[in-house]
Structures are given as C-alpha cells and as structure tokens.
Chain A
Amino acid sequence: MTLTKGDRARRSHVPAAGTEHAAAVERAQREMLHEGSSTVSVRTAEHGTRPRIGADVVCEALLRQGVDVMFSYPGGVILPLYDVLGDYPGLRHVLVRHEQGGAHAADGYARATGKVGVCMGTSGPGATNLVTGIGTAMLDSIPIVAITGNVPSALIGKDAFQEIDINGITLPMTKHNYLVRDANELPRVIAEAFHIARTGRPGPVHIDITKDALQQATQAVHPSDDEVIAGLPGFRPTIEGNYKQLKLAAAEIAAAERPVILAGHGVLHAGAEEDLQAFAEKINAPVAWTLLGVGALDERHPLAYGFMGMHGWKHVNRAIQSADLLFAVGMRFDDRVTGNVRTYAPYARIVHVDIDPAEIGKNVAVEVPIVGDAKRVLGAMLGMVEPVPAERRAAYFEQLTEWRRDSEGSSWHGSGAWRDGDLSADYVVQRIGELTRHEGIYVGDVGQNQMWLARYAGFRHPNTHLSSGGLGTMGYAVPAAMGAALGVPERETWAIVGDGGFQMTSQELMTLVQDEIPVKIALFDNKKLGMIRQWQEIIYAGNYHSAHLLGPDYLKLAEAYGIPSMKASTPAEVDDAIRFAQDVKGPALVWFEIAGEQNVFPMMPAGKGLSDLIEEWGTAE
C-alpha cells in the first residue's frame, strides 16, 4: 500500500472500533486512569480463593529462588504486585526512599552474601531511577534481578503516562533483559533471570512486566532447573580450564623468577580464596589485588603484597613493573590497574584466567589465555605446578620486602594528624578497621574515601569490602551498606562515605530508621569533592571550579532522622566517636571533620604508566 500525504493526515493510531485491539486499548486506558484493582485482582475477604494472577507468580518465583528480602518502591503499574505482597510474608520488603537506593541495596546484599539481590520499581521514572544501580552492578559483575512494572501491553509504544522504553535503556547495561506481556511466561522468565544472573560471570538481569501480565489469571507452572538450562541453549559458560592451557601456564610458572599473582573480583565470585592462598604458597609468589579483589587474601598473610593500580601501593606497582610473569585471575586489566598499557609490566609474560572469554586479550595481549572459573582453574593448577622452595625466591623476596618498607612509610599519617593538626582521613579509616577488629563489612563510596578504605582499613575476609569499582558510582555507600547489613546481620556494617557522595543518597537514612537497619555511617567531611579537588590541584593547575561543597549540620540532620550521631574533629576524638557508633543498637552516624586538602598518594595520573607515580605534591604532604 502506498501512503500519500493526504491519507496520512486522515489516519491515526486509534484502532478501528469494534476490533479486539480496540477493546484491549480501551480496557487498558480505563485501568490507567483508575489505578485501583481490576476485576481479576480483586482481593476477597478469604483471599485464598481468589484467582492466581501474574503478581502471585512473581512472588512464588522469588520465594523459590530463596529470596528473603527485596528493595523497592511502588507506583501505578506495579501496584497489582503490591496488592498481593502481603500474602507472602516470607518476602521481606524494604521500602526505600529512591529506586537508586533500592538497586544499590540489592547490589550490596548480593556482594555481601553471594546471593542474588532483588530490587523493584514502577514504570517510567521508577525504572530510570534504577538505571544507575543496574549499571553499577553491570560494571562490577554483581548478580541482581531488577523488576519493573510497565504500562498495560496494549498501551506500550503509545507514550502512556509513566511509559518509557526501559527495556531499550537497560539492554546494553544488563547481562540480559526481558519484557513480559503474558503471565504464562513469568515462571520461565524469572527462573531464567536468576540462573543467568548468578551463573558464569555474574551480572544484573532486568525483567519488565506489563501491568496486565501482573493481573492476568494464570495456571503457569514453575520450571525445573534442568528445564531452565535446556531453555537457554546460548548460555553455557566455560567452567573448567582447558588442560593444554593449564599445562602451558604451569610451564610459565616453572620458568618465572619474579612472578606476581594478580587477584581480582573473580576470585571472590568463585569463592576461590583458599585455592588462591594454597596456589600462592605452593609457587611462592606475592599476591597483589585489584580494588574489587580486596579480601581475596587475608592481608596478614606473608604473601599478601597489596593493592595495585592508580592509587595502589608503590611497592605493589613496582613489583608488577619488574615482574617476569603476571598470573592474573578474575580481573580484567582495567585502565585504573594498568595505566598506559604500552608501559605496563614491560618484562612480564601474562597468564590470564577469566570466566569471560571476552575479557582475555581485550585490554592487554596475553601469552596464556585460560577461560574458566577461578576456583576450578586454581584448583587444577595446584595439582600441576611444582612447589617452589623459598630459597629460590630469596633475592626476590628481599627486594619485595625492601620496596614494601620504603613504600609503607610514605604517605601515611599514623599519628592521626595531617598538616596543621587537622584530622587525617587515612588514620580514621585505620582506626575503624582496628576497632571493629577487621570483622565488619566496609562499604566504600567513590573518590578519596574509597581509596583510603581500600588502602588502610586492613581486610581479613572476602566479601567484606564493598566498592563501586567499575562505574564509580557516588552515593553508593549508604544504600549498599543497607543491603549488606540485612544480608549479613552478624557483621557490623560500616559505610565509609565522603560528604559529596553522602549528599547524593542520604534520603536512605530514613529507610535505615524505618526498617531498623544498623548501618554505621562514617562521614568524611572535608567540605570538598576531595578527588575532584586533588585532580584539579595536580592536573588542572589548581583551578578549583566546583570542588568546594557546602553541607548541612550533619548532627542536626541525623537528629531530624532520629539517628544518634557524634562529631570528631581531632585525632583524640576518633576512637570515642567510633565506639559511640558501635554502642548504638541501630543506625548511627559519625561526622569526621577531616583535613580539607589532603590527597591520596601515591597517584598515577590518567594516561601515565605504573612507573610514573606521584608520591607527593608541593608542600601539601
């Protein structure tokens, strides 16, 4: 059919009256205006007899997946789900104050527990608010399932109230996503979503469900695990390392004189901490870790060498730059780790172990690629390598020890006082670690506080350091700590957050109060966007545009929320403030007024190499 201009003027998208389509649109429009319950989801006095609808299927499926808590915010089109939530007391529902907080909380829950975190929001703004949290989870490979409601399927594409193409938005930033318009698909889709989120390289999965699908009566049956796997022929992650490649890696290790093991997040995802330690001990090689690899090895272990990269320890970066073999496991040679790739580890051959083949050879060319799960590969390697006696590494370890002595002494304010006696942030982080006996969960925000945390808190256990590494999401700490605290109540959860990040998501303070979530907030207030200020000082010739940041009186703010709080401005007050927060039963806030112009050193300026660390600057340190 040819469409001429005249025709087009007369045509509209209104379906012809009397057709099935027209009836569906009319019904949907009526429901949009009248957000209340529709005929199918009416709750009767004895609700056991009401028909089972899509919303019930969602709740059943979540329970089948072992979900015990979810973080969400209601809205028009997802109300059918809230209408039945009360019938499933096993599902704890935390009402967040903003959907971004919900997504971060699901993320924090997932990182701390290793289970899949769940967050929910409504269509339109509810869904777009989730996006930052989904992106954070994507870049750090965190298994979360995000559920959103959408407008009734007959209205999709019509720019209905609170309609946005959220499926199109999350498509490039999820491991997989779904749009469900038929309740009969819900059991399969939800089971698939959880399977995909936690299997292989973990990641976020988004499920968008239309309102009519939530309301639709259904008899759909939940699939078995085998049926789920059979239904995903394109999803078969490689778990076991290829034997030939393992042999090659063993040969590289046998030949290496100055090996360094680079441990990343994949070690934690795989639960391979013990295998890593056994492997490192057998081949007598130091272990360096990425930001998300913190906790892969107890920092007290003699082979635990330290945190690498842009703000990593100088001795660690020196070891990498002089290494003749890098054995990288579960990390992806991010630019914050390598700096300029051309000058990165110039003498090293590289063995790269990752469960995602796309990560191997993406950022650096490697000599021995091994696709597989960190635990399986390290376990297999353990049986294939010859033990290396300490004597063979004597000179190497002497050098490593010397570098470490040299590096740990610098850029460190163990006295607690920085210039003019102002409170030094690294000291505060160290004391939080010590006073909690390194047994807590520590959730960093983004920027200087994040680096101080990774460097100075002292980590003993896996999954106790939570940080938005890949996306670098400011505002992450408080909501993520909320999820972590609910997931692992036996550990004390601390949010380490700057005044910039805190002001981005501080609305969740009320969630902490309402749901009695005992998060301890260490607010690092330098009245600056500290890392911005640091970059402007060093890279932008001191042009401090927008680095100065006002904040409220945080004691009054906390009081208004009903959260006990205390302020510390000098080194002498630090311990009392930390102990105060520990003694509070529920959430507590400690306001640390730290030095305004302290920098995190060493620092590798972006684009430079690991050998180009700045260790001090002007008279600042």
Chain B
Amino acid sequence: MTAEAQPAQGAPAHVAPPARALPGGGQQQLHRLVAIVVDRPGVLNRVSSLMRARNFNIDSLAVSRTDREGFSRMTISLHGDDVAVEQAAKQLYRLIDVLKVQDVTAEPTVEHELALVKVRVTEGNRAEMLKLVELARGRVLDVATEAVIAEVSGTEAEVDAFVGLVRSFGIKELVRTGAVVMARGSGSIEEAVKR
C-alpha cells in the first residue's frame, strides 16, 4: 500500500502546516436563547426535535403565549460554547415557524423561575421548615401531616439554593418551570419581530 502522506504543496517544505481550528471548542457555559415563534400546533415539537437531532442538550425550555396574538415565546437554556449556541440559533431560524431568536446570555436580563417542592416534615421540624420558606421569601401552599408544599421563585441559583437547603428534610416531589428571562431596558424582542 502507498497511503502516502504528502507534504503540503506550495509551502516551504520545512514548515509543518498548522492544524485548522475546528468551529467551537470555546468555553462551555449556560446560554439563554429567547425565541419568538408562530403559535401553531407542533411548533414545540419542531424545536425540541431539532435540538435533539442536532445534538444540542436543552437544560430547560419554557413556553408561553405572548401579548401578540399568534405568537409564542420560548426560553431555551442550554450549555455550550458561543459557536455551538450560535449554530443552534441558526438551525432554529431554519424552522419556518421561528421568527426571531436572540442569545441574551451576555446581556443584562432579569431571570425568574418558579419551583414547587413537596418536603417531608414531622411534628418536630415543621416549624423549622416553615421558617426556611419564609426566609427564602417563598410561600407554603399546602400543609399535610407528613409534608408541606413550598413555592419558591427567583433566579435559577436562588431556587437551587433553597432546594439544597431543604434536601436534608427529604424531598418527596419537585417541579420547576425552567427559567424565563427578559432583557432589561426599553428594547423589545416582540416589537423587533416584523410582521
């Protein structure tokens, strides 16, 4: 066999060619994408199917209506480097129902997430639990003999902190909405969507 490895032509023979940089490979971090989509059946499926097929791992996805009829808003949280997330945004744009995608990670934003936690309590530690909920500026929604349901909201980190705090009590159930974010200031992604 002659699987020859030729020296690169046209270049001085003594210079080893530099390796071509691959796209991506930068620092991995949590990104928040905000997408305005047409409110049609199946649009959520299209987005989630695309993210799966293109090998992007969604941390959380929150969907709701917007104030403009016929449009929905998605907040997609995913880990990746800038290039990978940009590729995700570009792929999202290929969907006919996607109107606008914005990576707001680097922008000043407000962020909020809501969680309901059903925590195991006893006669002995219920009061302590209620105190923790109060400290976390949460609310107790239900009290039963062996459990309470607490509602907490805040940034993802704040919710994480509360969940970590009550874990020693024993968490029976946990549900989180996933973060929703909005850029600060007067700009509006909804208004940026041209009709």
| A interface, CB within 8 angstroms of B | 167-168, 171-172, 175-176, 179, 196, 232-235, 258, 318, 321-323, 341-347, 356-358, 361-365, 399, 403, 538, 605, 608, 611-618
Query: How far is it, in angstroms, between the C-alpha of A612 and the C-alpha of B193 when the chains are bound?
Result: 49
Q: Give the chain B neighbours of A232 by CB distance below 8 A.
A: 96
Give Cα distance in the complex from A363 to B87, angstroms.
Answer: 10
Q: Does B98 contact A (CB under 8 A)?
A: yes
Q: Is B135 an interface residue (CB 8 A)?
A: no
Is the CB–CB distance between B83 and A361 below 8 Å?
Answer: yes
Contacts A361-B83, A616-B2: A343 and B20 contacting too (C-beta < 8 A)? yes
Q: Is the CB of B11 within 8 A of A234?
A: no
| Residues of chain A contacted by B3 (CB below 8 angstroms) | 605, 608, 612, 614
- Chain B interface, number of residues (Cβ within 8 angstroms): 40
Q: How far is the CB of A382 from chain B (nearest CB, A)?
A: 27
Residues in A neighbouring B2, C-beta threshold 8 A: 614-616
List B residues 2-47 near A (Cβ within 8 Å): 2-6, 8-11, 17-23, 37-38, 42, 45-46
Asked if B90 is at the interface of the complex by the 8 Å CB criterion, the answer is yes
Q: A614-B2, A618-B1 are in contact. Are A346 and B18 (CB under 8 A)?
A: yes
A613-B4 in contact given A361-B23, A365-B21 (Cβ < 8 Å): yes
Q: How far is the CA of A364 from the CA of B6 in the complex (A)?
A: 22
Q: Can you report 9 A-B residue pairs in the complex whose CB atoms are below 8 A from each other?
A: A167-B42, A234-B99, A322-B11, A347-B8, A347-B10, A357-B90, A611-B8, A614-B1, A615-B2
Chain B binding surface, main DSSP class: loop
CB distance from B88 to the nearest CB of A (A): 9
| List of B residues within 8 angstroms of A617 by Cβ | 1
Across the interface, do B20 and A345 meet the contact criterion of CB distance under 8 Å? yes
Chain A residues with CB below 8 A from B194, complex form: 233
Complex formed: what's the CA distance from A360 to B126 in Å?
Answer: 57
Bound form: Cα–Cα A293–B87 in Å: 25
Is there a chain A Cβ closer than 8 Å to B60's Cβ? Answer: no
Q: How far is the CA of A341 from the CA of B24 in the complex (A)?
A: 13
Interchain CB contact under 8 A, A233 and B17? no
Most buried by B among A167, A175, A347: A347
B37 contact from A179, A234, A343, Cβ within 8 A: A234
**Contact A611–B6 (Cβ < 8 Å):** yes
| Shortest Cβ distance from residue B16 to the other chain A in the assembled complex, whole angstroms | 9
Q: Which 3 A-B pairs have the closest CB atoms?
A: A322-B10, A346-B17, A358-B90
Q: How many A-B residue pairs have C-beta atoms within 8 angstroms? Tell me.
A: 104
User: Are B50 and A172 closer than 8 Å at their CB atoms?
Assistant: yes
Assess whether A318 is in contact with B20, with CB atoms less than 8 Å apart.
no
Taking a contact as CB atoms under 8 Å apart, the answer to whether A357 and B93 are in contact is yes
New A-B pairs, 19, CB < 8 Å, besides A318-B9, A356-B94, A611-B5 = A172-B53, A175-B96, A233-B99, A234-B37, A234-B98, A234-B99, A322-B9, A322-B11, A342-B20, A343-B20, A346-B8, A347-B8, A347-B10, A357-B93, A361-B83, A399-B9, A605-B3, A608-B3, A613-B4
A235 touches B8 (CB 8 A): no
Query: B1 to A176, Cβ gap below 8 A?
Result: no
Report chain B residues within 8 Å CB of A618. Answer: 1
Q: Does B66 belong to the interface (CB within 8 Å)?
A: no
Q: How far is the CA of A358 from the CA of B90 in the complex (A)?
A: 5
Inter-subunit contact B97/A234 (CB<8 Å): yes
Structural contact, B9 and A365, CB atoms closer than 8 A: no
User: Are B37 and A346 in contact (CB-based, < 8 A)?
Assistant: no
Given contacts A234-B98, A234-B99, contact A171 B19 (CB under 8 A): no
**B193 partner, pick from A233, A362, A364, A538, beta carbons under 8 A:** A233
Would you call B23 and A363 a contact (CB within 8 A)? Answer: yes
Which residues of chain B have C-beta atoms less than 8 A from A318's C-beta? 6, 9
Closest to B100 in A: A234
Is B86 part of the binding interface, using a Cβ–Cβ cutoff of 8 Å? yes
- Tell me the residues in window 150-195 of chain B with beta carbons closer than 8 Å to chain A beta carbons: 193-195
Residue of A171, A179, A364 touching B46 (CB-CB under 8 A): A171
Q: Considering the chains assembled together, what is the distance between the CA atoms of A441 and B194 in angstroms? A: 44
Per the bound structure, the CA–CA distance linking A167 and B2 in Å amounts to: 49
A608–chain B nearest beta-carbon distance, Å: 8
A362 CB contacts on chain B under 8 angstroms: 23, 87
B110 an interface residue at 8 Å Cβ cutoff? Answer: no
- B171 CB to nearest A CB, Å: 22
Interface pair A361/B17, CB less than 8 Å apart:
no
CB distance from B72 to the nearest CB of A (A): 12
Taking the complex as formed, is B104 at the interface, i.e. its CB lies under 8 A from any CB of chain A? Answer: no
Chain A residues in 8 Å Cβ range of B8: 321-322, 346-347, 611
Closest to B95 in A: A234
Q: Which residues of A contact B99 (CB under 8 A)?
A: 233-234
Q: Which residues of B contact A346 (CB under 8 A)?
A: 8, 17-20
Once bound together, how far apart are the Cα atoms of A420 and B6, in whole Å? 32
**Cα–Cα distance between A618 and B1 once the two chains are bound (Å):** 6
A361, B87: Cβ atoms closer than 8 Å: yes
B23 to chain A, nearest CB (A): 5
> Does B19 lie within 8 Å of A365, measured CB to CB?
no
In the complex, B125 has a CB within 8 A of chain A: no
Chain A contacts for B17, CB-based, 8 A: 343, 346-347
Contact present for B86 and A361 (CB under 8 Å) = yes
Q: How far is the CB of B20 from chain A (nearest CB, A)?
A: 6
User: Chain B's nearest CB lies how many Å from the CB of A314?
Assistant: 9
A258 contact set on B, CB distance < 8 A: 10
B64 within 8 A of A: no
